[in-house]
Amino acid sequence: MPAALPPSALVRVPPVSRELTSSWLRRLAAQYGLPPQDLLRGVINGPHPVHVTGSPKPGLELFLNSPAREAFSRFTRIPPSRLANLLPSHTHPHDRLDDDSDVRAVWSAPCHRWVTACPPCTSRAWTVEQPVLVYPGPCGHICQRHQRWLLADSERASSICLGTMPDILSSHRQHLALVRAHPHTGRVVALAAAVVWSWQTQGWKGDTVWQHRTHRLAQLTSCRVSAVAAHPLVPYPETITLTRLLIDRGFQQRLRAAATTAGPPTASTMLLQELGRRTGRPWLADWLTAHTRLSRPQPPDGGSDLLRRWLTLLANTPGETIGEELWRMPGSAMRPQHYGDRSGVLAEGRSHSVTKEARAASLTGGWEPSPPQGDRAPTPCP
């Protein structure tokens, strides 16, 4: 216990589930009326040497080694096991903190994307000055109860109201069910997102459903249409619908039979026809087949056509051995991770201005349909 903080001054500020440790420290420091770095040094100060690397800049995470985590447990009187359950960075410490001989803390970029927690759901923890920042995991980016798509803003709670976008909410319920039922859902969503992105860049961006959704999002965020077109919300329903098709074992068997007997192009047409039926776009299979044939003929293994490539892999994989290898895709096939890169493609070169506007609306951070990152994969939503 630091000398400046007598036991009588102890305040109760428990972490929110999946909160960034830096967010928790800021909320704790605000209650004591101290700068975050001062409270950090006060808590971990003791007989052993103390090393603090970096400073608490917005958007950074605070990583602690074992002695530092134990110091916070003693200071807040919250058992280490409870802190580990609530704070993901406590179970996945930073690579630079494997030395426990001294007390160490590092301010560094988070290993995973984060969002501002839903204010009504965290009302007791949230203040106007200090929002609660959490790791959303594979599908914690939407609050179903309060119908919000949560954004990433380290200074204020930021979200998109989904009350007038029921298709996003229903897709999220399907996404939740997939995460609970299938261990590889994150990889399949990433593959589906890359496939849908390839369609966005091929001219399907003129689709009326996407146009309507993009204009609605522009109204809700008070941004120009070009600034919101690259947001993951726009193709989210189609991405989840395609994910459900790709992950369905019965449909996989039908596709494998078609790919084996008639070839991947026939299986691809079958898949696109079913996707077009489920998304209300009966023209989809014919349009994409013609577009692909005209624009860039593909080699037998599918080449850069992700669906053809996946179908070829499926046809060569016995059904009983299907695992995560089915969902691996070349890094070049993934859609651009950076909002500016995606905006530049969809806005045809005007990426700087649209990204600047999207950043001001906190649209450039938050959840993305990315594949899990090895052993550091976020745990599924509770």
Considering beta carbons, is residue 135 or 287 the nearer one to Zn ion? 135
Q: How far is the CB of 142 from Zn ion (least distance, A)?
A: 9
Among residues 24 and 149, whose Cβ is nearest to Zn ion?
149
| Residue closer to Zn ion (CB basis): 146 or 278 | 146
CB of 117 vs Zn ion, minimal distance in Å = 8
Residue of 40, 43, 134, 143 interacting with Zn ion (CB under 5 A): 143
169 binds Zn ion (CB under 5 A): no
Beta strands in the chain (DSSP E): 50-53, 61-64, 103-108, 115-116, 133-134, 142-143, 148-150, 159-161
> Rounded to the nearest whole angstrom, what is the least distance from the CB of residue 301 to Zn ion in the complex?
45
Residues 322-351 contacting Zn ion, CB under 5 A: none
104: region left, alpha or beta (phi > 0 left; psi from -120 to 50 alpha):
beta
Beta 103-108 vs 50-53: how paired, if at all?
parallel
140 vs 378, which CB is nearer to Zn ion? 140
DSSP string, 40-109: HHHHH-SSS-EEEES---TT-EEEE-HHHHHHHHHHHT--HHHHHHH-HHHHS--GGG---SSEEEEEE-
| 84 near Zn ion, judged by CB under 5 A | no
Read off φ and ψ for residue 225, nearest 5 degrees: -60, -40
41, 92, 146, 350: residue in contact with Zn ion (rule CB under 5 A)? 146
Tokens matching residue 207: 């689709």
**Among the listed residues 60, 78, 121, 315, the single contact to Zn ion using CB under 5 A:** 121
Could you tell me if 240 and 139 are in contact, meaning their C-beta atoms sit under 8 angstroms apart? Answer: no
Question: x-or-dash pattern for Zn ion, window 101-120, by CB under 5 A?
Answer: -----------------x-x
The footprint of Zn ion (CB under 5 A) covers: 118, 120-121, 143, 145-146
